[in-house]
Each structure stands twice: as C-alpha cells, then as structure tokens.
Structure 1
Amino acid sequence: MKKIKNEKELIKKAITLGTKYGEVRGAVQFEATDSASEKIEYIYRLLVHDKLIQPLPEEQVSQQSMRHKLAIWASKQP
C-alpha cells in the first residue's frame, strides 16, 4: 500500500463527505460521541455497499486499509 502525501487531511475530508453522504441517503445518523474509527468503518462499508469504491478482500480489511481506501476516495471528490 503506497503512502499518500496528505492522508490525514484526506481522511478528515472523507469523514466529512461520507457523513454527509450517509445522512442525505438516510442510512446513518452519527452522534457526537461516535469515534473516528467507527465512522471510518461505517462509511467504508456504506460506500462498498453502494459500489462507489472497490471492496478489499475480507482478510485484508483493517482500520489502516479502510483509512487508505477512504483517503483515495476523498482525493477524487470535488
């Protein structure tokens, strides 16, 4: 997995965009107490379900790999 230059900023952008996408779609209502890792996992699984990103093989799914996939997805968003 290749390191992305500004991955931390892209993760923040992905959480913001993913949260907004999930709420508009009516699939999720995040609470202020939800951790970033919970949000990342839910957003990743929602985007995979909606076929907006390619799923990872189940044995390769980890917090780090989900963060990486979401960073790539966020980098392609306007």
Structure 2
Amino acid sequence: MVGIVVGIGIFKTPALVAANVSSEFAFIAVWVAGGLITLIGALCYAELASAHPHAGGEASAVPPALRGAARRYRS
C-alpha cells in the first residue's frame, strides 16, 4: 500500500509544487524541506516503535506516548 501511495504521489505533486513557486531554486528547496520533514517524522515513529515493541503498530505505540505528554503538560 505504501508503495502505491508514494508511487502515485511522486508523479502527481511535482506539477502542483512547480506551479506555485517562483523559481527552480524554490522548487528544489520546497522538495528538500518536505523530505527533511518526512525524515524527521519517520525517525519519530522509529523511536516510538523501539520504545514500545508490541504488536499493533501505531495503535499500540502512540497512545502511551501521548499519555506521557499529557501528564507533563497538566502538572
């Protein structure tokens, strides 16, 4: 499923991005920024998965992480 989403997105979105930026440099800069944001998100999920190594994927890893954040902000 992920391969299909990435495969389709890589062909559809460059034209949209190029139409909404002023130069080639801006086009490349936007794609690099998007790649860095994606990498940071992937590393966050990898950290969550290593901290909570249970079956269930996102459903078992994210709620405990959010409960901990909620406790920190309440006090």
State whether TM-score is above 0.5.
no
Q: Which TM class, normalised by the smaller chain length?
A: 0.3 to 0.5
The structure having more radius of gyration, on CA atoms, is: 2
When you count helix as a share of all residues, which structure comes out higher? 2
TM-score computed with the length of structure 2 as normaliser: 0.36
TM-score computed with the length of structure 1 as normaliser: 0.35
Greater RCO, 1 or 2 (C-alpha within 8 Å, sep 6+): 1
